[in-house]
Chains A and B, each alone.
Chain A
Amino acid sequence: MATLTSNAAPHEVIAPSRMTPADTLRAAGIGLRTRRLRSVLSALGIMIGIGAMVAVLGLSESSKSDLLAQLDRLGTNMLQVQAGSGIGLGPGTLPDDAPAMVARIGPVDEVSAVSDVSDARVYKNDLVPSGQSGGLSVLATDDNLLATLQGSMTAGVFLDLASPDYPVVVLGSVAAERLGVRDLDQPTRVWIGGEWFTVVGIMSSLELSPDLDRAALVTPTAAAMYLGTDDLVPSTIYVRTDPASVDDVRGVMAATVNPENPDQVEVTRPSDALEARDAAESALTNLFLGLGAVALLVGGVGIANVMVISVLERRGEIGLRRALGATRRHISVQFLGESLLLAGIGGVGGVLLGAAVTAGYASLQGWGVLIPTVAIVGGLAAALLIGAIAGLYPAMRAARVSPTEALRTL
């Protein structure tokens, strides 16, 4: 505080210079108002950085929530059993009684097997050259397959073993498309192994077993009667277990299916593939987050640069403010505030941009839009932190400007 002198004026002490918070904010905003284009451009750098980070987090979260919903819907409790194929094993087969054995495992809820009808091919009609089978397979299966896969029908019904003797077929979604079967409003037949089969149903796409999307499914009886396949052996067994015991069931599966050669049995969990996809995506997410952080840093350098130039250009204003009674602290707070405002505007813009990108892309993908709070709060906090760091040095420089030097400029 002031020291009173012997012939002091009637003041006891000097009231310190001070500024209302509203005036502090106004002073911080004056540079933005008078240099709009420059301010917008320097805020843009921060906006892009924050926008990228928010969008990456938002998209990864939206995609993850979509994946979780998908896993929830499909279930992670399905196992797929195939004969192992390895050197010297040839095309593997599973024992005939394997499905029955698997059904006896306690926590197994549903079992279904499919068998290759190896010689048969499916065609739209009898005029199609035999080479153009379209990569579609013909499989024989039981009536439990749809329940085991928790699949659904887009048209018609699934195979009904109550009348196994008829030449009927159910098409997977891809198979139906390739054979030109869109609906079953008209009686539709396809040509399989030299016989006409009536299409009774089309399955929806099966996300966990895409192989079946490209298959034409017939009953074992029909396969034997019309396609001359007597020795059907299971090629793939689908198992739906109690969700809590998936790992236990998986552990005993190989030995149950083929007690003699358990090492020739391959047990997979199709939902693992989805989870692996998610892991790959999160690695990509981290990469993009890193890129966003780099953009943010560059934006911060841009703001620091603009602020340093601003301090040099506005020496006259600094001198005036000191003459009007501003302390060094008032000057530094003003310039720091300007930097924070720039970065804050960029941060808000970035969050909005990131949210818009997330919303746009997610709705394009049919995902639910999910922008994590941590991305919004973190994005704004990161912008302000960058603004504070970028503004610190220019603010200190501004405060150190000598008022007499500053007033001599221009």
Chain B
Amino acid sequence: MTVTDRHAPSRAAMALSGVTKAYEGTPPVRALRGVDLEVDDGELVSIVGPSGSGKSTLLHIMGTLDRATGGVVRVAGYDVAALGDADLSAIRSQHIGFVFQQFFLLAGETALDNVADGLLYTGMRLAVRRDLARDALDKVGLAARADHMATKLSGGERQRVAIARALIGNPRIVLADEPTGNLDSASGASIVRLLEALNEEGTTIVVITHDRLIADQFPRQVAILDGQIEKDSLWQR
């Protein structure tokens, strides 16, 4: 991973500048207070912070699931403030992969079909998606489990299926929200190794975690506290 020119926009998978987020209420909750963060293609970044630090809000805004109150958010080159809800959905379907703490696999489907669902909203036919899903399952080392029902898999296996689902469309960026949060330490460690391996092959990944031990294993760490970036390992270079 190399980051040499932070001003080359074409290399930024994701760029946030001066992003704020406030929730209405009395008093209003200022979840983000001016976040500047750029993630270039090919990076593996951890965003670490205690609960309530605003890291989930940041992930939702990066993933276009939520809109910033102020500042500029560019995802895959698009200024999301200018886009409508349907366009944001389109960006998610084509450019962003999500991995969640709770896996969110569909109970009635096999591992293969859950992975194929990663391209469900691209209009691609199921047969084609299944072929791609097989490759993606192979990448995460679960080719043998393709036809098992999602509910019959162990926690670590489920998270691998979820990662394969996020990877299947070769998104510009993968956002992982506490991907090891529901796993025992051995499974968690293997998921971290998997993410590292996938990054080696070129996938851009942002991992959100409250766990410093996990965050420290990644090449770049961004620490967030009270809605602001407290430290970015990039600054030290």
Contacts and interface: CB of A to CB of B under 8 A. Distances in A.
Nearest to A14: B90
A273 interface: no
B120 A324 contact: yes
B65 A407 contact: yes
Interface string B100-125: 10101011110000000110111111
A329 B51 CA distance: 33
A327 B89 contact: yes
B9 A410 contact: no
Nearest to B82: A3
A135 B83 CA distance: 94
Interface in A304-343: 316-317, 319-330
B104 A325 contact: no
Interface stretch (B91-99, B140-148, B189-197): B91-99
Interface string B186-207: 0000000000000000000000
B94 A325 contact: yes
A403 B65 contact: yes
A408 B87 CA distance: 23
A317 B107 CA distance: 10
Nearest to A406: B65
B30 interface: no
Contacts of A26: 126
Interface in A1-29: 1-3, 5, 7-11, 14-20, 22-23, 26-27
Given A317-B106, A320-B104, A18 B92 contact: no
B93 A322 contact: no
Chain B interface residue number, banded? 35 or more
Contact of A330 (B10, B100, B117, B121): B121
Contacts of B100: 320, 323, 407
B87 A2 contact: yes
Given A15-B90, A404-B65, A410 B121 contact: no
A34 interface: yes
A385 B65 CA distance: 34
Nearest to B114: A320
B216 interface: no
Contacts of B10: 7, 9
Contact of A328 (B85, B93, B118, B122): B85
Contacts of B82: 2-3, 5
B86 interface: yes
A30 interface: yes
A84 to B, nearest CB: 77
Contacts of B83: 2-3, 14
B78 A5 contact: yes
B98 A323 contact: yes
B180 to A, nearest CB: 17
A33 interface: yes
Interface residues of A, number: 42
Given A18-B122, A317-B104, A410-B102, A324 B93 contact: yes
Contact of B66 (A8, A327, A404): A404
Contacts of A14: 78, 83, 87, 90-91, 94
Dominant secondary structure of chain B at its interface with chain A: mixed
Contacts of A410: 102
A407 B86 CA distance: 19
Q: Looking at A3, A5, A22, A330, which has the most chain B CB atoms within 10 Å of its CB?
A: A5
B76 interface: yes
B9 to A, nearest CB: 4
A5 B77 contact: yes
Contacts of A9: 10, 76-78, 172
A320 B118 CA distance: 10
Given A34-B107, A404-B66, A19 B79 contact: no
B74 interface: yes
Interface in A55-69: none
B65 A3 contact: no
B63 interface: yes
B60 interface: yes
Given A3-B79, A3-B82, A327-B86, A19 B123 contact: yes
Q: Looking at B9, B78, B82, B172, which has the most chain A CB atoms within 10 Å of its CB?
A: B78
A322 B87 contact: no
B108 A33 contact: yes
A323 B92 contact: yes
A410 B104 CA distance: 10
B90 A325 contact: yes
A3 to B, nearest CB: 4
B89 to A, nearest CB: 4
Interface of A: 1-3, 5, 7-11, 14-20, 22-23, 26-27, 30, 33-34, 316-317, 319-330, 403-404, 407-408, 410
24 contacts: A2-B78, A2-B83, A7-B74, A11-B76, A14-B90, A14-B94, A15-B90, A18-B122, A18-B123, A20-B125, A22-B126, A33-B108, A323-B96, A323-B104, A324-B92, A324-B118, A326-B93, A327-B86, A327-B121, A328-B86, A329-B86, A403-B66, A404-B60, A404-B65
Listed from nearest, the 7 A-B pairs whose CB atoms lie closest are A325-B93, A9-B77, A7-B9, A325-B121, A18-B123, A34-B108, A320-B104
Given A5-B79, A322-B65, 14 more contacts: A2-B87, A7-B10, A9-B77, A15-B94, A16-B89, A18-B121, A34-B108, A317-B106, A321-B120, A321-B121, A323-B100, A324-B117, A328-B85, A407-B104
Interface of B: 9-10, 56, 60, 63, 65-66, 74, 76-79, 82-83, 85-87, 89-94, 96, 98, 100, 102, 104, 106-109, 117-118, 120-126, 165, 172
